[in-house]
Amino acid sequence: MQKKRKTGVDCMGTLMRADFHHLMREEASRLLSYIKNETDQNRKYQLCSMLLEIYEELDIDVQENASFWGDIQINYRDVVGHLS
């Protein structure tokens, strides 16, 4: 009796996660571009909220990253306060 190989399933799962992460990184990049060009502060907060959700999914911590927040010219605490 031949054993079933599980590597195909594992490999497929790994590929799907890699594709998902790639797509999420692309979306994060697009959002970051929109945020930098947005003039409406409320819209900027909404976009930041979406970006933070993506970063959380990708396990990217930007909370304490001052250069990130300086680059988009917004304060992390202001974003969190706006979402509350």
pLDDT tens for residues 22-49? 999 999 999 999 999 999 999 999 999 9
The reported pTM is: 0.76
pLDDT of residue 9: 52
Domain housing 74? 24-83
> How many structural domains comprise the chain?
1
| 8 Å CB contact between 21 and 59 | no
Q: How many residues does the chain have?
A: 84
Cα–Cα distance measured from residue 5 to residue 2, given in angstroms and rounded to the nearest whole number: 9
pLDDT of residue 84: 77
pLDDT of residue 82: 84
Q: Is position 44 within any domain? A: yes
Q: Is position 7 within any domain? A: no
pLDDT of residue 13: 73
Q: Is position 9 within any domain? A: no
Q: Is position 14 within any domain? A: no
Mean pLDDT of all residues belonging to the chain: 85
| 8 Å CB contact between 33 and 20 | no
Cα–Cα distance measured from residue 6 to residue 14, given in angstroms and rounded to the nearest whole number: 12
pLDDT of residue 22: 92
